[in-house]
Structure 1
Amino acid sequence: MPRFSVIVPVFKVQAYLHECLESVLTQSYPDLELIAVDDCSPDACGAIIEEFAARDPRVRPVRLTENQGLGPARNAGMAHATGDYLIFLDSDDTLTPDTLHAIADRLKETGEPDVLVYDYARAHWTGETVRNQAAARLREDGPAPFRLTDRPELMRLLMVAWNKAYRREFVEEEGFVFPAGYYEDTPWTYPILMTAESIATLDRVCVHYRQRRRGGILGTVSPRHFDIFEQYDRVFAYVDHRPELARWRPLLFSRMVDHLIVVFARRDRLPRRSRTAFLRRARAQYRRHHAPGVRVPLRTRLHYTLVRLGLHRTYRALRLTAALLRRTAKLTGRLRRTVRAAALRLHYRVQRCLPVRADRAVFAAHGVRGKGCAPGALEQAFRTHAGHIRTAWITDAEVPDGTRRVRPGTAAYWTALARSKYLVHNAGLDRRLVKRRGQVVVQTRQGTPLKHMGLDLRERPAAAQDIDVDDVDRWDYVLSANRHSTLTWERVYPGAYTTLEYGSPRNDVFQQATSADVTRIREQLGIPEGAVVILYAPTHRDYRRTQRAPLDPHRVGSRLGPGHIILTRAHPRHGGPLAQSGGRVIDVSHHPSVESLCLASDVLVTDFSSIMFDFANLNRPIVIHADDWEAYEAARGTYFDLRSFPPGAVSRGEDELVDIFATGHWRGSRSAQRRAAFRERFCAYDDGRAAERVVRRVVFGDVGVPSVVPLDKRHPVPSPGGAEER
């Protein structure tokens, strides 16, 4: 008896079926049977299913002699299922990697509930993946399993069959089956949730819900959308036969009316001539199932009234009026933006005619929320060592108290760019900026380069969008953390600027922080005392349209066992968290300071990210983990072979990574030797006074520039667990 029966009804999806079936069969949890039901599909789907069945005994093909629709096809699959749990998957959707492993772990953790509800993301045909907006309702905090009365908000999730795992014995005992027709998930999902004695949630994206360019079956104009009335009749009939479920009638009624409004309002559903008939049926449905105690939100009260009265012409008139108002507002907004842009351009020209102010400096940083990176450290150093200069930070986000903020695109922003003597940035300045005589531009860059940059990307189209050499002519100074960076910047960004090989200002904090600072940061993150904290921070993959983490933090955390906490930090271009917080994993993708996260961690796990060069200044263990060396180097290119000169242990797969931690190799003598050589090459100037050196050189010339403290004389704040000492 397998653990899971994955049921896939198949009809006219030959372009997507391979990907769907592969997503199931390649799961890291192999204890499954895949029941693929060929609903008399006229294309090559049947042959594809047979091909998969011939090469994998876990595939169980079921062929129907005539097309019956999605509901009956699922029923046919259930009739052949032998697994402990049923999982439904539409044949154009996919399971995300390691989904079944995560579901199995959660089922065991919550005592084998009747139903496990998990999350999904919409996978658009453009390549964009957007997580379900109601994901917060799947939180895992609190007791589990539970009944629906404890978490009634689950009734407001998308009512589909494929975002849940169902205990097969529970389904068979209650006699649940899918009806025929459109909206077949409605009389399946509501009764199951109301009847289940035990429910649990899994706060994880387990399904990629494909959004086709031409839409799915429910996005086609057809009179079959009238099936929705019979489906809700089935739901209320189920409740009528079970008096104990009467408490759910008001919520079911509310959900039904909302659903009817969506079907009626969408232009891609009802035939035009049937809209009046649909609203009449909706009016009858409203009166038949209306329940006392229904609370109608103020914003939807008008819609409910129109459905209750069946006012088709009024509804259409209101929609036309609303569309006209939206169009008018859009045109008005466009005109307002045009006038504002012209006014700001004139303002900027006027400001450029006024003198540059020697006592003004403006700072900005790309890839950070609020204030941070090297420009953030320099802004603080300006205030400390050049107090006569008034500083400002360009951002839309919040900044620490005492920092003057300037919002991009405002008149104050253009005034600051036009009249400030010092302009500090870590990426590209505003392309509309006209550098004036007397202005000084300090380009800090974003860490030590491992991957190819600038001119070296000309032959690498997957990453070519990062080429920004046109901005070089405006630079006066470029900061460098080490000789490797100096040689690289001057070659790939050729210009007349001066290189300041003074160290990285953003790393000063590693030499200045105290043990009390580390303790405070860990407490703020909710890290238990004595835990070994792993910071997992992989870089962006230019050659992938959609990003995925090279490992599953939740599975790694469970395999490492108690005493380990994993902080997951997604790259700013990743598009979402690497993993949701829960258990031994804490998502810190939106934490404002990556330096604070480094201070709180005992060990760094990364791949090709420049964070390794910064973290090495703490003299704490680093583990390099990547499963795509060849692909990454081919698409982006690296300046040296990290496998030949790593800052610590190297793993090429998840099992090897777990073994590195289980055996203690991550902080062994060999790893310490590699780290020492790495620090000697890349951390020579990061002694905690890099920002001061830059300020004294840029503002005061060479006067008072402090000398560099040798590596063996530095004492960075120790790891809470003493990891760097073993």
Structure 2
Amino acid sequence: MPVSLSIVVPVYAVEGYLYQCLDSLHAGLTADERARVEIIAVDDASPDRCGRMLDDYAKDHSGVRVEHLSANVGLGLARNAGLAAATGDYVWFVDSDDWLPPGSVRAVLAALADEKPDVLLIDHLRVQDGRPKMDASSHLLAGAPTLDRMLGVQHTAWNRIVGREFLLRHGLRFGSGWYEDVSFSHPVLLAADRITALNRVCYHYRIGRPGAITSTRSHRHFEAFEQYDRLQEWMDEHGVDPAIRRRLFVLMINHLLVVAGNDGRMHPGHRRNFFRRLAALHRRHRPAGYRPHGVKHRLVAAGAYGLYALLRAGYRLAGIRAGNPERTLPVSADVVSPPYRAQAASII
């Protein structure tokens, strides 16, 4: 039986990318497919021409609706506004600086009709300076869509298409602030009875755009801790299995270590405090039966920022010598200078 799809597009300061995004959402669809797809663009009080561009676009394209917010509320709450206006069987949250490759909506509609899942996960390409690259977690979509396996897929809103009634029934919404995907993308998987995966690239994720959160140095990256606290509270309320909590705990520490080590996001003057907050989060939410995985996790558990900084500096030096200064693979204790190896031995 055919299904209908609402594509929610929050829009803020992306006038250079907006038409590419919107055009990609219904390109190549038949009249019948277009009738089953509604596009809800949410103007989050954008300071540029985006609001006018959306109105003009909606006049020329049926099935496009525009919601104008009176004040800027941020990505998560703008998505909630779009969800409130949606009428489709399923909802797909698409960011307005990204775009879909041809045939994506048709493939998603077919998969939803065949499987009738609560959540459908899709593959994507990371595109930076016009160069596409597979995500490190993409291979997980090729296997059985078990909960444990799908929890390892990049935790974003745009790579999972979710049943609208399912979201309403479970009260799943986005929180305010940066890293809003954290307290949404994991709970939708944990609450789902049926998860399926489409092992096909259906999304192009733009990397390195000026003004994007992941390319901006800001103290607001500390808001990630609030989002993970929300996730932990949700799991407390819903009695999530301890093994799943340990799995998500590892993923949480991995994610925050990436943020801590990313010079594009973290000002060097903020890194020590961020690490301290990470160590406190580790103590606060460490699940029963958990043992630290790897060197960096042990350093976080010990609150050993000095050793972490040495490891990071040593590994970056090794990356520079190898021609890759942004190298971010797991750190080996071998890169630590000899005077510090004995000190590190008690931790790692």
Cα gap change, 1:87 to 1:27, in 2 (>3 Å): farther
Q: State yes or no: 1:188 paired with 2:173.
A: no
Q: Which amino acid aligns with 2:94?
A: L
Q: Please report how far the alpha carbon of residue 273 of structure 1 lies from its aligned counterpart in structure 2 after TM superposition.
A: 2.4
Task: Decide which of 284, 291, 296 is 1:288's aligned counterpart.
Answer: 284
Is 1:122 aligned to 2:112, yes or no?
A: no
**Contact persistence 1:89–1:162 (CA under 8 A):** yes
Of 320, 323, 337 in structure 1, the residue corresponding to residue 316 of structure 2 is 323
Tell me by how many angstroms 1:11 deviates: 0.3
| CA distance in structure 2 between the aligned counterparts of 1:199 and 1:2, rounded to whole angstroms | 17
Determine if contact 2:124/2:204 at 8 Å carries over to the other structure: yes
Q: Which has the higher helix share?
A: 2
- Among 307, 320, 327, the alignment partner of 1:314 is 307
Q: 1:80 to 1:326 in 2, by over 3 A?
A: closer
Cα distance in 2 for residues equivalent to 1:99 and 1:326: 37
Residue 341 of structure 2 corresponds to which residue in structure 1?
A: none
- Correspondence 1:251 to 2:239: no
Contact 1:2–1:82 (CA under 8 A) maintained in structure 2: no
What's 2:263 paired with?
Answer: 267
The structure 2 residue matched to 1:137, chosen from 130, 136, 140, is 140
Task: Say if 1:117 and 1:163, in contact at 8 Å, map to a contact too.
Answer: yes
Matched letter for residue 106 of structure 1: A
Query: Which amino acid is 2:133 matched to?
Result: V
Partner residue in 2 for 1:44? 49
Structure with higher Rg: it is 1
Q: What do residues 635-668 of structure 1 show as CA deviations (whole Å, max 9, x unaligned)?
A: xxxxxxxxxxxxxxxxxxxxxxxxxxxxxxxxxx
Equivalent positions of 1:123-522 (< 5 A) are 123-125=127-129, 127-139=130-142, 150-212=146-208, 214=210, 216-294=212-290, 296-297=292-293, 301-328=294-321
Question: Structure 1's 70 and 27: CA in aligned 2 closer, same or farther, altered over 3 A?
Answer: farther
Letter in 1 for 2:150: L
CA separation in 2, counterparts of 1:324 and 1:97? 42
1:58 counterpart letter in structure 2: G
Question: Partners in 2 of 1:13 and 1:53 — Cα distance?
Answer: 17
Residues 130, 244 of structure 1: alpha-carbon distance in 2 compared, 3 angstrom cutoff: closer
In 1, Cα distance between equivalents of 2:114 and 2:147: 18
Query: 1:25 matched to which residue of 2?
Result: 26
Correspondence for 1:5? 6
Q: Deviations over 1:357-379 (max 9, x none)?
A: xxxxxxxxxxxxxxxxxxxxxxx
| Structure 1 letter corresponding to 2:197 | T
Q: For the Cα contact (< 8 Å) 1:27–1:99, is it kept in 2?
A: no
1:392-450 per-position Cα deviation (integer Å, ceiling 9, x unaligned): xxxxxxxxxxxxxxxxxxxxxxxxxxxxxxxxxxxxxxxxxxxxxxxxxxxxxxxxxxx
Quick check: 2:26–2:105 contact (8 Å CA) kept in 1?
no
Residue 295 of structure 2 aligns to a residue whose secondary structure is: helix
Gaps of 5+ in 1: 332-726
- Give the equivalent residue in structure 2 for 1:419: none
Q: CA deviation at 1:132?
A: 2.5
Q: Which runs of structure 2 are paired with 1:514-593 in the superposition (5 Å)?
A: none
Q: What is the SS of the residue equivalent to 1:34?
A: strand
Corresponding letter in the other structure for 1:20: C
How far did residue 79 of structure 1 move?
Answer: 0.7
Higher RCO (Cα < 8 Å, 6 or more apart) = 2
- Residue 376 of structure 1 corresponds to none
Residues 220, 268 of structure 1: 8 Å contact kept: yes
Matched to 2:137, the amino acid is A
Relative to structure 1, the CA distance from residue 329 to residue 46 in structure 2 (aligned partners, 3 Å threshold; closer, same or farther) is: closer
Structure 2 CA distance for partners of 1:317 and 1:240, relative to 1, 3 Å: same
Residue by residue over 1:339-369, the C-alpha shift from the partner in whole angstroms, topping out at 9 and shown as x without a partner, is xxxxxxxxxxxxxxxxxxxxxxxxxxxxxxx
**Distance between the aligned counterparts of 1:212 and 1:276, measured in 2?**
25
1:433-492 Cα shifts (integer Å, max 9, x gaps): xxxxxxxxxxxxxxxxxxxxxxxxxxxxxxxxxxxxxxxxxxxxxxxxxxxxxxxxxxxx
Query: What's the CA shift for 1:322?
Result: 2.6
8 A contact 1:178–1:184 mirrored in 2: yes
Counterpart Cα distance in 2 of 1:189 and 1:100? 20
Return the match for 2:58 from 53, 56, 72: 53
Shift of 1:327: 4.2
- Work out the CA distance in 2 between the residues paired with 1:8 and 1:325: 42
TM-score of the two chains, using structure 1 as the length reference: 0.42
Aligned pair partner of 1:76 in 65, 73, 81: 81
- Rounded Cα–Cα distance in structure 1 between residues aligned with 2:286 and 2:321: 38
Question: How far apart, in 1, do the equivalents of 2:124 and 2:317 lie?
Answer: 35
**Alignment partner of 1:99 out of 79, 99, 104:** 104
CA shift, 1:330, in A, is: 6.0
Count of equivalent residues: 319
- Over 3 Å counting, the alpha-carbon distance change for 1:159 and 1:328 in structure 2 is closer
SS at match of 1:156: coil
Structure 1 pair 247–321 and aligned structure 2 pair: CA distance change class (3 A) = closer
CA distance in 1, matches of 2:168, 2:262: 36
Offset at residue 131 of structure 1 (A): 2.5
Distance 1:157 1:68 in 2: 28
Using the TM superposition, give the Cα deviation of residue 56 of structure 1 relative to its aligned residue in structure 2, in angstroms: 1.8
Distance in 1 between residues matched to 2:297 and 2:178, nearest whole Å: 23
Q: Judge conservation of contact 1:123–1:130 (CA < 8 Å) in 2.
A: yes
Are the aligned partners of 1:282 and 1:308 in contact in 2 as well (CA < 8 Å)? no
* CA offsets 1:520-575 (integer angstroms, 9 cap, x no match): xxxxxxxxxxxxxxxxxxxxxxxxxxxxxxxxxxxxxxxxxxxxxxxxxxxxxxxx
Tell me by how many angstroms 1:122 deviates: 1.4
Aligned to 1:15: 16
Partners of 1:107 and 1:327 in 2: how far apart? 46
Shift of 1:177: 0.6
SS at match of 2:67: strand
CA contact (8 A) 1:186 1:235 kept: yes
Q: Could you give the per-residue CA deviations for residues 693-720 of structure 1, whole angstroms, max 9, x where no partner exists?
A: xxxxxxxxxxxxxxxxxxxxxxxxxxxx
Q: Do the aligned partners of 1:194 and 1:245 also contact (CA within 8 Å) in 2? A: no
SS in structure 1 of the partner of residue 151 of structure 2 = helix
Rounded Cα–Cα distance in structure 1 between residues aligned with 2:258 and 2:287:
20
User: What secondary structure sits across from 1:95 in the alignment?
Assistant: coil
Tell me the CA shift for residue 129 of structure 1.
1.8
Amino acid at match of 2:121: V
Query: Structure 1 residues 107, 2: CA separation in 2 closer, same or farther (over 3 Å shift)?
Result: closer
Amino acid at match of 2:225: F
Cα distance, 1:78 vs. partner?
Answer: 0.5
Cα deviation, 1:207-255, whole Å, max 9, x if unaligned, reads: 1111245472122111111111110111111111112444321011111
SS in 1 for 2:38: strand
Q: Is the 8 A contact 1:2 1:32 kept in 2?
A: no
d(CA) in 2 for partners of 1:287, 1:87: 35
Shift of residue 189, structure 1, vs aligned partner = 0.6
Partner amino acid, structure 1, of 2:310? A
Give the share of equivalent positions with the same residue, in percent: 38
The 3-state SS of whatever aligns with 1:122 is: strand
Q: 2:121 matched to 1:113?
A: no
For residue 337 of structure 2, what is the aligned residue in structure 1?
none
Q: 2 CA distance for matches of 1:177 and 1:326?
A: 40
- Supply the AA of the counterpart residue of 1:115: V
Q: Is the 8 A contact 1:226 1:278 kept in 2?
A: yes
Aligned counterparts of 2:157 and 2:53: Cα–Cα separation in 1: 24
Aligned-pair distance for 1:325? 3.8
Output the aligned Cα RMSD: 2.0
Q: Which piece of structure 1 moves more, 130-139 or 274-283?
A: 130-139
Q: Which SS does the other structure have where 1:12 is aligned?
A: coil
* Distance (whole Å) between structure 1 residues aligned to residue 67 and residue 280 of structure 2: 40
Residue identity in the other structure for 2:128: H
Query: Where does the alignment leave 5 or more consecutive residues of structure 2 unmatched?
Result: 325-348
